Structure formats: structure tokens, C-alpha cells
Chain A
Amino acid sequence: MYKLVYKIIFLLSSIFIFTSCEDVIQIKLDKGGKLVVIDAFVDDLRKPQIVRVLNNTDYFSDQSSEPISNAQVVLKDLTANKSYSFTYAGNGNYQFNITPADTIAKPNHQYELNVTVNGTLYRALATQKRRAIASKIDLKKDYPFIDTSLVFLGIMDTLIEQTPIGNGPAEKFYTTLLFAVDIADNNPDYYRIKAFRNDTLFNKTNDLLLCIDGTGGEVYNSPEPFSFFSPPVTFLGFQKYQKNDKCKAEIHSISKEAYNFFLQAQLQVTNSGLFATTPENVRTNIISPTGAIKGVGWFNMASVTTTSLVMGL
């Protein structure tokens, strides 16, 4: 809802395009203090799990953030009382290779992330969220009265043959829509949807796709036992695909706090125009010891549902 309101406000401010203008200017900013930046989005996909530990960098710097290579990264499953040590794999990445039969992420388990940099311990807590994307099996078990033939998970492609606009060329491309069903109950589910073209993530801030219960708003006490993911939330971005391109969508079930973190980060990165809000620091869930270099970032444990489609087949 918050996101929608800001979209509306942004739209309103767009009317000033008649008179307004934007100029890129040079500003000298003060040098920021040192921070430890922890980027820890761990999920239950069967692939190496990565936690990034970096320093911050000057706002206008064209260099990537300097990696911290001497950290110790340990993920603790507090529910199962297990620890997983991540090993340094270069470029600030600390990696844990899961076994083919298992993942470290389990629904409803509580986790603690410990990152030690130069003797300073940075901590963060997270609970693995449930996988709320309904499968026919789930529904048959929990909601036997539902006609499961209506339920499916998948991507639909649409061929667009665009006639030339102005002097532009004629274009032919595919767009995609994601279809999924969220189990609706009194517990809202928060999602980040990652869209990939040929396994390359659309990673710009504007490509960030977030939704609650698949609908854009929290469905408390919904009369329906499940709700469909509905466009435009699941319109997988305004991305163009060519024939035989693969579109993959990962639906990450994240915590409410992580959802808010993405929303805040997106707002801060795109905060502009007449109705821009007061710039604020994003809230982070890294706990730093008093007096030490401050740790910032986010730690989240996600359950992921994946689906993909090759265009034009």
C-alpha cells in the first residue's frame, strides 16, 4: 500500500514536466565514516549460499565497494542447534555449499548470523518464512473442496508486434506474466519476485518486484482460502524477450521486515521530484557492539518457489 501511494505521488508530480527540469550537477559531499556492510539473503534453493561482507564506499565513487576478506561468517540454526561456517570465495563473498540432498534453510526455523570482522562480532536474527505459494498437493490436503484444476504455477508469454511509433522501428518481442496462487489466511505473506532472462537477473532498483499475498495489499481475514497473483504485480517487469529466451521467476517468501527494507531502499534510491520525502537512512537488522565500527545491511532467510518458460515454444 505504501508503495502504491508513493507511485501515485510520483505520478502526480509528473504533471510538472511542462515546466520543470532536471539537471545533473556536481556536488562535493563530505566523506562518510567507515561501515561494515552485510548483504545476507539466504534461501532454500539448492545452490551455493552467499553472504557478502564489504566496506562502504563514497557515494559518487565509480569503484565497487571494497571487499572485507578476513571476516568469519557463521550461520546458526537456533531451532535445530546447528552451525554452518561460510568460507571466503573472493570479492567479499562468503560461501556455503549445500549438499544435493539438503538445504540449510528450513521453514519456521530461527537463525542467527554471526559475522566477525577484526574481532568485532556483528549479529542478526531471522526466521525462515513459510512457502505460501500453493501447489495442487498442498491444496488437496488443506482445502479438499477446492477445484485444483484452476490452480497452477507458471509463466505465460505474449508475443507483441509493435507497429512503429514516430520514427522508431517496428518491434517484435515477448512479454511475460507470472501466475501463482498464494495461500490466504490471517497471516500475510511477503514476496520478492526475482525475474531472470537466460539466467541473468534483472537487477536494477526499478526492476525490484515486491508484493504482499500476491495482491499488492495485505489480505487479512480474506473470504477466499487462496488468492491469485494478479497483474500488474506479477507482470514480470517491462522486459522484452526474444524467441527461445528463457524467462525464470523466483518467488522469495521473505519476512515483513525484509519486505519493508526493500521498499525503503527502493524509495531512497528513487526518491525524487516535487513530493520527494525527507531522505532517511534505511533501517537495517544488523546488531553492532557499542563503540565499534557500525554494521549495516540485512539478513533474511527465504523460501523460494521457482518456475520458468522458454519463449515461443
Chain B
Amino acid sequence: MFNKILFSFITILTCFLGIAQEKFTISGYIKDSKNGEVMIGATISKKGTGIGVAANEYGFYSLNLPKGTHIIAIQTIGYATQNFTINLDKNTKLNVELVEEGKQLDEVVITGEAEDKNIKSIEMSTAKLDIKQINKIPALLGEVDVVRSIQLLPGVTTVGEGASGFNVRGGNVDQNLILLDEAPVYNSSHLFGFFSVFNPDAVKDVKLIKGGVPAQFGGRVSSILDIRMKEGNNKKFAVNGGIGTIFSRLSIEGPIKKDKASFIVAARRSYLDALIKPFLKETSPLKGVVFNFYDLTAKLNYRINDKNTVFASGYFGRDQFGASVFKFNWGNSTATARWNHIFNNKLFMNLSSFYSNYDYYLEFKLPASNQGFKWSSNIVNYSFKPDFSWYVNNKNTVKFGTQVLFYDFLPYKATGQFQEGAEVKFVSPKRYGAEYSAYISNEHKVKPRLTLEYGLRVSAFTYLGKGTAFTFRDTIPNTERPLNDSVRYGPREIIQNYVNPEPRFAMNYVVNQFSSIKASYNRMAQYLQLISNTAASTPLDVYTMATNNLKPLLADQVSVGYFRNLKENMYETSVEVYYKYLQNQLDYIDNASLFINPTVENQLLQGLGRAYGAEFFFKKTKGKLNGWVSYTLSRTERLVRGISNDKWFVSRYDRTHVLNTVVNYDLTKYWSLSANFVFLSGTPSTFPNTKLEIQDMSIPYNTTGQRNNYRVTPYHRLDLGATFNFRKNDERKYKQTLVFSIYNVYNRRNAYSIYFRPNSTNANINEAVRFSVIGSFVPAVTYNFSF
């Protein structure tokens, strides 16, 4: 119904606009001349005016101009600006290919104008990392990594090395919507948290949205990490690869039909287990251990005609860990099918449908016996999602769409074989849910200096049968709620419904050519949360949907920022302040039993959260020396009845001060150097202040009852990298680089956590122990090639 009304509205308005305006439209795709990849966010504008538009996620643009002659400039950072003189007397299709800077052809005019998109665009609290930029950052074990790179941006932190995922503005890891070609990825980590699942060879564009989230996105309250895969070179075959300390990678891309269809296939495989084998003693419990990961990313696209393009992409990755007595593996798989359709020069549609699965499997088997234990769990999503961009006129760009998302969970399935012939099964019933959403937003250029974006997303969630819904009686907060009743529901019967309107608003006021003030407000609703009370989330953690007992998580965020570029856009600076208020944030009763528990909901608590802070950013975009410095001052707190004496307490992800510095220096044609330095305040932790002697145990106890009453020592680290480029000139086909890196140069043992234990020789004495995941500096060499 919503769609029907909208379509009628659009059709009428399009006809009206077509008749009433003496204007014409230039539309088309902006692509890279080298490989035919579409260029997300490249801008097209009428020179010398503020009239312009950015290409969307699929490289499509549409610009409306009056009849007459115009000079059109098309530009994006790192590419030579192309200027066209166009005599506009009808709607015109203009597909443009941009040439990388330094490789420009004679006929292309170099304007020398730097990118000032950060000033003019309505986007705020948004960071875009280009894969070329990511490649320059010195990385752990020499392996460039998308998720570790975004952790160097303001407002993004992690609990420590080895922790999966990342925290945005104090949010939990499950509050980030990580999209790989629009399909959600539930566990973004390989090797727990050392590497992310995204193969940099197959990634084109990485965009992190921390605030001012456009209406087209929803489902998570802290951030959107939108990762777009390359389409594959449609001009010529290309091979990229690398041999590293931990893993090797290879990608092949090329045209299936030149300029029409192309593909990319990229794969990685680690060999950590083989490498550590010689260093293990005969007696080591890790002898014979299997420990590796692999992933495969592939994408295919076919341009049927000027108006229709179809895409299919997929990811499949797995981590495996095991020895003679146990096996453990986990991984994600995603598949996306997309259809881009241009209805007319003003209306663009992307229709996506995707499948996403995360699962793990664990098995224990006692040697020489039939006794053992098997355990598995999974979460599956299916979705259908049409999105429309309607370039109404130069002042209004309307985006609208809908999404249907189905959830299919198996919280756990465990089988224990404890004695000959006797098998004990613990199988949780499957859980089902459906999330529906519809949105509409308008980017409205009210005045040349003032742009507004206003929109509304309405999301609804239905917790569905078949299943049993439990109800619990109220009790003292922070204790297990006793079971009251359980009601059985049949297939597709509605157990619980939630509807949430999510208003979105953003504003940009351009003060002058080099500065602007931006503000935004957004409400976000989240219908599933990760159940994890460990410091770092483990691959065994499971998600829970909103149920009759658990309300959806809601967040309201306000951000205000001042953006200023200096020296003709050579330096970008910004200051942003934000305040976020969360409702129904998940927490746990003390000593909660979270695994293989059919009534896990009575172990969970819901409370309030708030986060506020200021983010300062300084970036040098050009020159031999480039990079950025960011500083964040922030606070993240929670209030949960029954915890920490019913008072606000700092969350596990609170970091008061965060300083990130990333510097690149192009020394010679062959050598480039890079460095990054990070400083983060220690994470909060709960320390005991006394001990109880009960049954010969010395049990740590905190008499104040305060949660997170101490902080571990601050984290700081310096990494250095140097890249040697074998190339003699740019045109040489075979390119090779050697990347040398040292992670944690000055060998600091950063505390991941501080814990307490009895002394091993005298159990009457307790001691504090600092646990560091990276205990020394880590040197590495990686060889990369492409041809």
C-alpha cells in the first residue's frame, strides 16, 4: 500500500515537473577509466555555482539544469577533474570516466581544485576510507585490515587486540550494522579479533556512519559500516596478491564481456598452525592443533543495457580451531543479488535481496571412548529491499524504499554423549522474527548555503512462532526472575509486535567557501542484541531478538559539528560534539547463566545508556606528507536497576581520552614510510576490595557493589611501516611491493585486562595480574604483487 501511494505520488509529480520546468537533466554513471569501477560519491557540478550532486552508491548521478550552455565539472579526490562544456537543450545521458591523478591524458583539464566535499556535503559523523588509504596504514603483521583501520578514526575504539569488532561512540559491538554489499555480517573477525573478514583486495569503498544516519539505514543504534565490493575490472584481466606472515591472498578480476560484464574472485588462507608447529614442545597441549581461517569473496556484474545492470556477490569464510579431542569452527556466509534500474533520468532504483548466515560448531570427544559433546548455533537472515533515488530537481533529492528482513535463529543445539548409548540432547526451539521498514527522506537545498535532509523511517518487528513464549514474575532486581507461565504459539503466529517511528534530520550551513556548520538528529531502533558478558565477545556468543520480555533497543542522538578547510582544502579540520541516549540496553544479572539456557531471558536486564563527547579531527590530504590526527574526549554510562547500587556507572567501552595519529610520507619514488600512534585511556573494570574465606576458597568481593570502579592502565602504541615499490614507472604491467612493518615498536605490554588470582605457591596470598594480548613488538614482511 505504502509503495502504491508513493508511486502514484511520484508519477504525478514527475509529470508535473516535466511540464512545468524549462529544465533538462544530465544523468549517467561516473566510472574509473582504468577498470570501469563505478565511483561512489564523485561529484558533478555546474562550475562556479553551488549547483551539484554526488554519485550514489552505484555511481549514478542526475543533475537538473536550465536550458543553455554550462561548464560541468566532475571530480573526486585522487582523480583529475574533468570539465565539459555542454549545450543543454534536451535531457542528456553522460557517462564519464575519470582518470587517476598523475596519469592524466592531455585533453583533461586539471583544475588544481582540491576536494571540499567535507564542507559542502550534508554528511557528518561520517568517515570514508578509500582502500588506497587503508593500504598505507602500518598494520599488525603487515596485513592491511578494514576494521583495524577504522579503529584509527575519531569515535571508534576497541576493547583491545583480540577483541572482535569495534565500538562506536561507546556502543557495544553488536550495535554496528556491518554491511558487505548490503548483507549484514554478524561476526566481522577472523582469529577472534586480529583480522577482519573483509579481503582488502575485493573491497572498493568503506564508509562508517556514526551519526546523522540517513533514513535508508536502520536496524542498529551505533553505526553503519557500509562496505562495497569491487565490481571487477571490465577493461582487462588483473591479478592482485600477497604473501604475508600469517596468510596469503589472491584475487583475479576481469571482463567477461568488455565494458558489459565483469567478475572478481578473491581468496585468503592463513597458515598460522603450520608456522607455530616447529615452536611447540612435545608436551604442549597445542601440539597437533588446527588453527586457520579462509575466505572467498566473489562478485559478478552484467550491464544488460544502459538502464539495467545486475549484480551477484557472495562471501564465504570460516575459522577452524581444533586438536585431537575437539573441533571448533565458525564463519559467515552472505549472498547478495541486485538489480539497478534507471526508470528515467530522474528515478533510479536498486533492488537487493540477500541471505546472510553465521554459525558455529563445537565438538568434544574423549579419546578412546564414545563420550563427547557437540554444540552448534546459527543465525540466518533473508531480506528483500527496493531503494529509490529520485532526483526531483537541483534542490530536492528524494530517497525512499522499503525492506523486509526475516530472522531465523537456532540459539543452540547441544548433544552430550555421556555414557555408552545414552545421549542427552539440549535443543532450543528455533526462533523467528520479521523486521519491516519503510523510509522516505529528502535532501533539500533550501538556499545556496543551507541544505536540510529530513526523513522518516518506520520500522516494525514481529516476534513469530512457532515457539514458546515465557513470562516471568517480577522479583528483586538483579536476581533471576522466576518463571510464571509459558504459552505455545503455532507457526507464523504473532507473539509480540513492536513499531518504532525513527525520525532523521540533518542540516548543513555553509559559512563560507572553506567552512560549514552541521547538525543532525536521529532515532534508531535495534531489534536484536548480542548476549555476551565477557570482556571480548566470543565466537560462541548468540544474538537474541526482541521478544515479549525484551524490548527493542532505542537510541536518540544529536550531533553538532564545525568543519573548516585550510590552505585551499589542503587541510581538513572538524570538531563534532554528540549526545546519545539509549533505552532498553541489555545487561545481565550477576552470575548469569547465558549459555544453553532455555529461559535465558530471565538472566537479562534492560536499562538506560548515555554517551557524550567531542571529536577533533585534523587531516592533511595532499603532499608528500599526509595523514591525520584525531582526539576524542568522551564518556559512556549505563543505568540498570539492580546493578551498581542503581546509579549510573561507566560502561566497559568508556575511553575518556583517545588520540590517533596516522602519518604517511612518500620519501622517494621507491620508498614510502608510514607511522601511527594511538593513546587510549584504560578501560573501566571492576576490582575487588576484599576477600571472603569460604570453604578454603579466597573469593574476591567488592563491598561497595560498584560496577567498573577502576580503570586498567592507559593503552598506547606506535607502529611503523615502510613500503618498497619495485616499479620503475607507472605503466609497467607487473607491479610489486614489499611492506615492512613493526607493530608495537617500543614493546609496550598494554593491559587488555587486569585480573586477580591466588598466588600459585601460597594460595593465601592474592595477586593482581596484567594480561596483555600482544606482549612484545611484532615485525612482519609482506610481499604484494599485481599484474
Contacts and interface: CB of A to CB of B under 8 A. Distances in A.
6 contacts: A21-B749, A23-B769, A25-B754, A32-B704, A64-B693, A265-B699
A122 to B, nearest CB: 14
A98 B752 CA distance: 52
Interface stretch (B27-35, B45-53, B276-284, B619-627): B276-284
A269 B757 contact: yes
A35 B692 contact: yes
A166 interface: yes
Contact of A31 (B689, B754, B757): B689
A113 to B, nearest CB: 14
A1 B596 CA distance: 7
Nearest to A92: B693
A276 B754 CA distance: 10
Nearest to B595: A5
Given A265-B699, A276-B755, A280-B686, A228 B540 contact: no
Given A279-B756, A280-B590, 19 more contacts: A8-B364, A8-B540, A22-B771, A22-B772, A24-B767, A33-B704, A39-B693, A41-B695, A56-B703, A61-B691, A208-B697, A260-B591, A273-B771, A274-B162, A274-B535, A275-B538, A276-B755, A278-B707, A279-B755
B767 A277 contact: no
Interface in B227-284: 276, 281-283
A205 B538 contact: no
Contact of A203 (B289, B696, B769): B696
B780 to A, nearest CB: 12
Nearest to B538: A275
Interface stretch (B7-15, B418-426, B429-437, B543-551): B418-426
A125 interface: no
Contacts of A37: 692-694
A279 B774 CA distance: 23
B690 A281 contact: no
Interface string B751-770: 01111111000111111111
Nearest to B162: A274
A17 B540 CA distance: 20
Given A19-B774, A32-B702, A33-B704, A277 B533 contact: yes
Interface of A: 1-2, 4-5, 8-9, 11-12, 14-27, 29-35, 37, 39, 41, 52, 54, 56-62, 64-65, 165-166, 201, 203-205, 208, 215-217, 219, 222-224, 227-228, 230-232, 260, 262, 264-283, 294, 296-298
A21 B701 contact: no
Most buried by B among A17, A32, A278: A278
B321 A12 contact: yes
B769 A272 contact: yes
B778 interface: yes
A230 B691 contact: no
A57 B690 contact: yes
Contacts of A33: 690, 703-704
B701 A12 contact: no
A122 B164 CA distance: 45
Given A19-B773, A296-B692, A1 B590 contact: no
Interface in B673-716: 685-705, 707, 709
A282 B753 contact: no
B767 A223 contact: no
Nearest to B414: A1
Contacts of A29: 687-689
Given A37-B693, A279-B700, A25 B768 contact: yes
A268 B689 CA distance: 13
A302 to B, nearest CB: 12
A54 B701 contact: no
A4 B317 CA distance: 27
Contacts of A203: 696
B590 A230 contact: no
A296 B776 CA distance: 42
A227 to B, nearest CB: 7
B534 interface: yes
Closest 7 CB pairs of A and B: A32-B690, A21-B775, A32-B689, A203-B696, A33-B703, A32-B703, A280-B590
B754 A27 contact: yes
A8 B286 CA distance: 14
Given A165-B282, A272-B755, A279-B686, A56 B696 contact: no
B697 A215 contact: no
B692 A272 contact: no
Contact of A2 (B595, B690, B762, B764): B595
B687 A279 contact: yes
Contact of B538 (A9, A56, A230): A9
A7 to B, nearest CB: 10
Contacts of A5: 540, 595-596
Nearest to B702: A281
B579 interface: no
Nearest to A29: B689
Contact of A205 (B291, B697, B776, B778): B697
Contacts of B691: 56-59, 61, 65
A16 B699 contact: no
B362 interface: yes
Contact of A298 (B694, B700, B773): B694
B593 interface: yes
Given A15-B286, A201-B696, A260-B591, A224 B768 contact: no
A132 B373 CA distance: 25
Contacts of A32: 688-690, 701-704
Interface string B378-419: 000000000000000000000000000000000000101011
Contact of B416 (A34, A165, A216, A228): A216
B120 interface: no
Contacts of B595: 1-2, 5
B366 A232 contact: yes
A20 B693 contact: no
Nearest to A282: B699
B328 interface: yes
